[in-house]
A and B are shown apart, each in its own frame.
Chain A
Amino acid sequence: MNVPENLKYTGSHEWVRQDGADVTVGITDFAQDQLGDIVFVELPQPGQQVQAGAQVAVVESVKTASDIYAPLSGTVTAVNPALAETPELVNRSPYQDGWLFRLSPRGGGEDLLDAEAYLALTRDA
């Protein structure tokens, strides 16, 4: 299972990458593997204000719908336009082409996990 060292993580299996002033958010390799074939992704609207811990997106496999939570409070600045037509990118490339949305954060993020802590969490799962 792939858990890149340079990312931060949540206990609900989102990853967070600092990209300039914004952060990019997706779901982890562990999460996409647990979900199986992803067939539908519902994303927030650019401009939408989100609270850390609030449900902001939905990733659906053939079998189930899974809520995605905002890892930080802030404003949505972009969503991945490719996922409407090719949601399977989340399976194929969870950390790159399968990213979900970008946020302009209002601070916070101190409680995000590093790769080692996240890996430990998935081992207990």
Chain B
Amino acid sequence: MDSSWQRTPLYAAHLRSGARMVPFGGWEMPLHYQGILAEHRSVRERAGVFDVSHMGEFLLSGPAALEFLQWITPNDLARLRPGRAQYNWLPNAQGGLVDDVYIYCLAEDSYLMVVNAANIRADWDHLNGLAEGFAGRGLTLQDLSAATALLAVQGPRAASSLQEITDTDLSAVRKNGVIQAAVAGWPVRLARTGYTGEDGFELFCPAESAEALWAAICVLGVTPAGLGARDTLRLEAGFPLYGHEFRPDRSPLTTHYGWVVKDKPWYAREALLAAPREPHLVGLLPQGAIAREGSSVYRGDELVGEVSSGTQSPSLGRPIAMAFVRGEAGPLEVEVRGRRVPAQLVRLPFWPPSPH
């Protein structure tokens, strides 16, 4: 593999666990260890641990931090108290997205922003560009990405497993809560967040303690899980992924995440609200073929869209796909290797399955 790929502090641990390493967003990351299907099932039925240290972390602090974040994002951070986290976007001035992010309020004037690995550079430039308007107002931006490791422990047994190695009462940490805790004796910032559609925690820790924490979590019987399972899990849960569902040249209001936008003034509000909302994101159940990213979607003979993410769903045992499609009425077909197969339109998410 090209030596220019970056490695997380857990690179050696992954190799020892037999990981298949692949390039991802400029990083050399584990695709799987024992296999995507087994890792996926572990997370849905028990618990798995992911190395997501490639993701970026920025600390925004100072008296103007809240006002700055309010100005550059569409969700309302005024409601966000210390110890709470919120999903949010970094829109560009054209109504598309620079990135989608999670923002953790650590204290009154201190916010931790977690960003996608492939976008760290672009996000940092974007934030610093907008921060010029706040010069002299008390705003400090710090890129903590290189010094910070991030482990995601996800699954129905995530809490009971982690509880074995921390004195902090995890039942007191609600969804989207974030606290300082000691886990296996190591200081971590522990948040009840994740990207799998399951209960779980994300542990921010200094890069130096990542290997020891990883080992302490694996010893609990938590299954190491790679980016392959992370992708199938997020797709089943209907979570958009930057570079697939979110792009600089597409409004995020084409997705089912319109709730992110709150009624408040901010810098790109008009551009975001004015951007075209068609084609829009739908869930599809292709029949008898796995439609992958780029597959064409047809209504009759008319080309009406394109698959943005598609895979075989390990939980449902059938192909699933997200696609951007023009118009509402069906029936739809997707083209796989020159052959068109029916694709039933369904509400997102795919998992957990709706009673219908």
Q: A residues bordering B, Cβ < 8 Å?
A: 36-37, 39-40, 42, 58, 60-63, 65
Closest to A58 in B: B337
Tell me the smallest distance from the CB of B293 to a CB of chain A, in Å. Answer: 11
In the assembled complex, B157 has its CB within 8 A of some CB on chain A: no
Query: Which residues of the other chain, B, contact A62 by a CB distance below 8 angstroms?
Result: 36-37, 228, 232, 311-312, 314
Query: Interface readout for B301-337 with A: 1 if CB under 8 Å, 0 if not?
Result: 0000000000110100001000000000000000001
Q: Count of B residues near A, CB < 8 Å? A: 17
In the assembled complex, B31 has its CB within 8 A of some CB on chain A: yes
Cβ–Cβ contact B312 & A39, under 8 A: yes
User: CB within 8 A of B36: which of A37, A40, A58, A60?
Assistant: A37
Closest to A64 in B: B292
Tell me the smallest distance from the CB of A85 to a CB of chain B, in Å. Answer: 11
Tell me the smallest distance from the CB of B22 to a CB of chain A, in Å. Answer: 9
Query: Which residues of the other chain, A, contact B232 by a CB distance below 8 angstroms?
Result: 62
Cβ–Cβ contact A60 & B228, under 8 A: no
9 examples of A-B residue contacts, CB within 8 angstroms:
A36-B31, A39-B37, A40-B289, A42-B289, A62-B232, A62-B311, A62-B314, A63-B311, A65-B337
Cα distance, A65 to B311, chains bound together (Å): 10
Cβ–Cβ contact B290 & A39, under 8 A: yes
Cα distance, A42 to B339, chains bound together (Å): 12
Cβ–Cβ contact A36 & B32, under 8 A: yes
Cα distance, A79 to B262, chains bound together (Å): 57
In the assembled complex, B221 has its CB within 8 A of some CB on chain A: no
Cβ–Cβ contact B337 & A36, under 8 A: no
In the assembled complex, B20 has its CB within 8 A of some CB on chain A: yes
Query: Which residues of the other chain, B, contact A39 by a CB distance below 8 angstroms?
Result: 37, 290, 312
Cβ–Cβ contact B312 & A36, under 8 A: no
Cβ–Cβ contact A63 & B228, under 8 A: yes
Cα distance, A39 to B320, chains bound together (Å): 13
Cβ–Cβ contact B31 & A63, under 8 A: yes
Cβ–Cβ contact B292 & A36, under 8 A: no
Query: Interface readout for B75-93 with A: 1 if CB under 8 Å, 0 if not?
Result: 0000000000000000000
Cα distance, A65 to B310, chains bound together (Å): 12
Cα distance, A65 to B228, chains bound together (Å): 14
In the assembled complex, B243 has its CB within 8 A of some CB on chain A: no
Q: Which 3 A-B pairs have the closest CB atoms?
A: A39-B312, A37-B37, A62-B36
In the assembled complex, B265 has its CB within 8 A of some CB on chain A: no
Cβ–Cβ contact A36 & B290, under 8 A: no
Cα distance, A61 to B314, chains bound together (Å): 11
Cα distance, A4 to B36, chains bound together (Å): 27
In the assembled complex, B35 has its CB within 8 A of some CB on chain A: yes
